[in-house]
A and B are shown apart, each in its own frame.
Chain A
């Protein structure tokens, strides 16, 4: 019987101490500096006065971070082309000096809704009011894009027109995905260059991004963008440099829409020049990455007093 008694006490003891151990570690985890990240987190944040809801619904991360300091540097992911912080900053990192929630947004490029945005699959996935011609075809004495209102998919504009500048696609790939869409602008306004219909999540912000450059310096193209036939800002005038890959980015809120018809139109009707290339189209949800910052002050340096 004494043996049984000892055995029972030991198991109860073990159970009790295990509980204490788990509880202690839980408290330590809560007490010590924390750094955790959760993917696919949802947020309930009022985006603007007209819209209240889950935003953005698709992606983002939450990082709890604390420090014994009066300020903290928060860093966004490196090498992004655009930074957008809740403070209004557009720098890769910010310094905050009070506790609270801070966020930065980025585009979830792994969730690009544009099909064949880098034209690796040729002239598939989109529609165009322009006429396609193979880059080695001919519409005149200078090659495939001698005539206006034609486009091609190629690795080098000069292949399609002898007077076009020779250069690689936007990512300057020398192998693999290295196509671009090269266009000889139409002499009439409003002809759709590129259009794609994309399914979207309601109440979600997306970013549409495209890279473009002139391929011939005269009369650079004047491109306008639209989603669901609503123009997105003023037309963009390309530069005459060749190449001069520029990024055009616009943010769009789906609100109640479940589809987005994205269109790119050239407003320049000049017959001389007015030649350009497009590449790497992206239409992807905005990801909001939130830092929950807790800044705590340290006790002052103590002094020892003898008694």
Chain B
């Protein structure tokens, strides 16, 4: 009986605590993930507020407040189009940060509230597009004949065809100068041996978002030695 009474008191305390917190500030409901994954990717970087690499941190700021009396209400649009309060910054905290998860649009809005409880007009929607992770893989015949007798064409798989990219091929860690920025690379080797080829892929929307493929070893095999015709017996 005593335990039951204690449980009831605990429940009352929790209820009062919830009411107190609810009365003191608006409830924030932070959530991760994008606001929109269905709209086509931006055609240019300028068409959104920012283009970020996969998994990057979203770091936004509102106007600075020297008085420390402004509340910064950060809103984020969820996948249903609903605006949700994700953070209420006080005491000069004008920043919002979040780690992006999957690719898509992340849309935010900011409202400032002063000490008179007067609210600003909502800011314009700020859209961030987070790119998907890159995973380039080199494909192609791994063998060529030395002395450039044969070649092999290296291609790249694992890239999303909806995006555009820039490329830089490397041979044994050194950028290939000639024809080294295409999406394919034709390997010819003069000297027999093993050569490590890789490609660094970058998004056109944000050239800072790059990924270098795993090395692809191309083996240049020796050609038969020049035969010598002998005469006599």
Sort chain B's interface into a size bin. Answer: 35 or more
- Name the residue of chain B whose CB is nearest to the CB of A27: B24
Which of B29-37, B114-122, B152-160, B191-199 sits within the interface? B114-122
A297 at the interface (CB under 8 A from B): yes
A307 at the interface (CB under 8 A from B): yes
- Name the residue of chain B whose CB is nearest to the CB of A10: B9
Find residues 20-75 in chain A having any chain B CB closer than 8 Å to their own CB: 20-21, 24-25, 28, 31-33, 66, 68
The answer to whether B23 and A14 have CB atoms under 8 Å apart is no
The answer to whether B61 and A299 have CB atoms under 8 Å apart is no
Q: Name the distance in Å between A73's Cβ and chain B's nearest Cβ.
A: 18
The answer to whether A304 and B16 have CB atoms under 8 Å apart is no
Which of B80-88, B104-112, B136-144, B204-212 sits within the interface? B104-112
The residues of B that contact A140 with a CB separation of less than 8 Å are: none
A298 at the interface (CB under 8 A from B): yes
Q: How far is the CA of A14 from the CA of B10 in the complex (A)?
A: 9
The answer to whether B61 and A17 have CB atoms under 8 Å apart is no
The answer to whether B116 and A301 have CB atoms under 8 Å apart is no
- Name the residue of chain A whose CB is nearest to the CB of B70: A299
B62 at the interface (CB under 8 A from A): yes
Sort chain A's interface into a size bin. Answer: 20 to 34
Q: How far is the CA of A296 from the CA of B17 in the complex (A)?
A: 32
Q: How far is the CA of A10 from the CA of B122 in the complex (A)?
A: 43
Q: Name the distance in Å between A174's Cβ and chain B's nearest Cβ.
A: 53
Q: Name the distance in Å between B61's Cβ and chain A's nearest Cβ.
A: 5
The answer to whether B20 and A303 have CB atoms under 8 Å apart is no
The residues of B that contact A66 with a CB separation of less than 8 Å are: 116
The answer to whether A33 and B49 have CB atoms under 8 Å apart is no
Q: Name the distance in Å between B112's Cβ and chain A's nearest Cβ.
A: 4
Q: Interface centre among B13, B59, B60, B111, by most A CB within 10 Å?
A: B13
Q: How far is the CA of A32 from the CA of B116 in the complex (A)?
A: 7
When the two chains form the complex, which single residue of A3, A13, A296, A302 contacts B112, counting CB atoms closer than 8 Å? A302
The answer to whether B126 and A304 have CB atoms under 8 Å apart is yes
A6 at the interface (CB under 8 A from B): yes
Q: With A21-B19, A302-B111, A304-B108 in contact, do A14 and B9 touch (Cβ < 8 Å)? A: yes
The answer to whether B23 and A24 have CB atoms under 8 Å apart is yes
- Name the residue of chain B whose CB is nearest to the CB of A28: B23
Q: How far is the CA of A20 from the CA of B49 in the complex (A)?
A: 42
B39 at the interface (CB under 8 A from A): no
The answer to whether A298 and B62 have CB atoms under 8 Å apart is no
The residues of A that contact B17 with a CB separation of less than 8 Å are: 17
- Name the residue of chain A whose CB is nearest to the CB of B120: A299
Q: How far is the CA of A102 from the CA of B122 in the complex (A)?
A: 32
Find residues 120-137 in chain B having any chain A CB closer than 8 Å to their own CB: 120-124, 126, 128
Q: Name the distance in Å between A12's Cβ and chain B's nearest Cβ.
A: 10
The residues of A that contact B120 with a CB separation of less than 8 Å are: 298-302
Q: With A33-B117, A304-B62 in contact, do A25 and B9 touch (Cβ < 8 Å)? A: no
The answer to whether A306 and B50 have CB atoms under 8 Å apart is yes
Q: With A24-B23, A306-B49 in contact, do A14 and B118 touch (Cβ < 8 Å)? A: no
Q: With A301-B120, A304-B126 in contact, do A21 and B111 touch (Cβ < 8 Å)? A: no
The answer to whether A299 and B110 have CB atoms under 8 Å apart is no
> Interface 1/0s, chain A 279-301, versus B by CB < 8 A?
00000000000000010111111
Q: How far is the CA of A168 from the CA of B123 in the complex (A)?
A: 64
The answer to whether A304 and B123 have CB atoms under 8 Å apart is yes
The answer to whether A302 and B24 have CB atoms under 8 Å apart is no
Q: Name the distance in Å between B122's Cβ and chain A's nearest Cβ.
A: 8
B232 at the interface (CB under 8 A from A): no
Identify 9 new A-B residue pairs, CB closer than 8 A, beyond the known A7-B2, A306-B60: A10-B10, A20-B20, A28-B23, A294-B116, A298-B118, A301-B122, A305-B60, A305-B61, A306-B49
12 contacts between A and B (CB under 8 A): A10-B9, A14-B13, A17-B13, A17-B17, A18-B16, A21-B16, A298-B120, A302-B111, A302-B120, A304-B61, A304-B62, A307-B59
By a beta-carbon cutoff of 8 Å, the part of chain B in contact with chain A is 2, 6, 9-10, 12-13, 16-17, 19-20, 23-24, 49-50, 59-63, 70, 95, 108-124, 126, 128
